[in-house]
Structure 1
């Protein structure tokens, strides 16, 4: 279980670039620690996968995505869109087809960062990587 005090630090991520950057790092660290815990090789994952900066290098800072990764071996993409904590305990997910691939190779998770969502998000990610996740659409 995550420390709620640590998560509280991220409350103003949309207003502070340093906090936003720390939150991006938090998601990346969580993802790779999760892969390690599940004995999944993370060496083929490109992270971040999607560009989240403007041409001048400034961060978009809209939380879409706050995290993205792509496995070059499995051609699977994960995108996490984080909503403001004011939206309570929001958590939904679906599989998308990307423009370069007609199969549903992208997992999209929309969530708020709350302790009770994190374990569910981790389960969704691992199920997706292992090919056991059912589409909700």
Structure 2
């Protein structure tokens, strides 16, 4: 995929998918970042108080660390990560070699439900990004 210039229309399409498939269903905050920790887009439920810029930088480092651990155990990669807390959880999914989708959600959202919706969101984002090359 080509990640040169992202149009405002593409960002709006991605935001719409994220809002419909994740935020409207109860996810607190969703961030799409590149592997360097730069935010492509971020959406939240308007009640979230996350510092998405610090979070994006730490998430990129976390994913890179886990990627190195995957190679140490003979895996090419771990394509998703999940951190569960008492009240909040974080789900990281690799969209492709350049992008990560990060979801922050509370205990009222089941991991299975989230993962089903994340699959749809990732497919939508891949389609939107891929459409740039046409």
Question: Which bin holds the TM-score, normalised by the shorter protein?
Answer: 0.3 to 0.5
Q: Quick check: which one's helix share is greater?
A: 2
TM superposition score normalised by structure 1: 0.33
TM-score by length of 2: 0.33
Higher relative contact order (CA closer than 8 Å, sequence separation 6+): 2
